[in-house]
Amino acid sequence: MKSILIIEDDSEIAELERDYLVMNGFECDIAHRGTQGLEMALKNNYDLMIIDIMLPGTDGFGILSEVRRHKQTPVIFLSARSDDIDKIRGLGLGADDYMTKPFSPNELVARVKAHIMRHDILTGNIKSVIHIRSMSIDTNARLVTVGNERINLTAKEYDLLEFLAKNPNRAFSKETLFDRVWGLDAAGDVSTVAVHIQRIRDKLGVRGEKYIDTVWGVGYRMSA
């Protein structure tokens, strides 16, 4: 699971960012002071950082300058300061993106995903094929095979299987799976999750129960 560091002194904004990112499958840490955020940024290997500029202690520019001496982790500045001079300075110091407040949480999530994907491609860290025992999932081609047999799935069946496969051995409730795979604004209800799980199992045949476990009282998990 990809991890994000949020350095933001406004607790409400930080929690809003974290909530939307967690709903989209990310792990998040929050620092409310610049000095604390810099220490966490240098100590831990985050996949992306979201940094405010105006922070108590070390400001966002100072954090980015120090981080760039050691790491090339993608950085998005999220600031109430919209002056071009701040954007130019931030990008010049090595920021990958600059967003101004107020912001769309969904747009922030989309930019986070795009920058992480680009960084993974450039650094060769992206894994396009997931292997779980005899099952292979090619995430670029959206192709699922078990042994030498191709498994034909609908778009949402594939999305659900891929999500579980990317988070193996973790139990997710039907509500969480519905939010992550169908989205917060999707029509329908969580009962469709159970229907899709059963369809996937049916298509996997006798192997279906061995890959997707029912966790009673919780939901489902991919058994790896």
Neighbouring CB atoms inside 10 A of 159's CB total 16
Confidence of residue 206 (pLDDT cuts 50, 70, 90): low
Cα distance between residue 14 and residue 6, in whole Å:
7
Concatenated DSSP letters for 120-163? Answer: HHHHT----EEEETTEEEETTTTEEEETTEEE---HHHHHHHHH
Q: Which of 1-10, 31-40, 79-88 has the lowest mean pLDDT?
A: 79-88
Q: What is the pLDDT of residue 185?
A: 56
Section 56-66 average pLDDT: 94
> Dihedral of CA 43/46/48/49: which sign?
negative
Strands 149-151 and 143-146: antiparallel
Strands 3-7 and 48-51: parallel
Cα distance between residue 198 and residue 2, in whole Å:
28
Rg (CA), the chain: 20
94 contacts: CB under 8 Å, gap ≥ 6: 64, 68, 75
Q: Which residues pair with 48 in a beta bridge?
A: 4
Mean per-residue pLDDT of the chain: 90
> Is the pLDDT assigned to residue 82 strictly greater than 60?
yes
Nearest to 28 by CA among 6, 13, 47: 6
Q: pLDDT tens digits for 139-176?
A: 888 999 987 789 999 999 999 999 999 999 999 999 99
Q: What is the pLDDT of residue 117?
A: 85
For the CA atoms of 89, 3, 28, 174, the dihedral, rounded to the nearest 10 degrees, stands at 140
For the whole prediction, is pTM greater than 0.75?
no
Q: pLDDT tens digits for 66-79?
A: 999 999 999 999 99
Q: Which residue has the higher pLDDT, 124 or 203?
A: 203
CA of 111: how far to CAs of 3, 106, 159, 168, in Å? 15, 9, 20, 25
**Encoding tokens for residue 15?**
């929690």
Give the percent of the chain with pLDDT over 90. 66
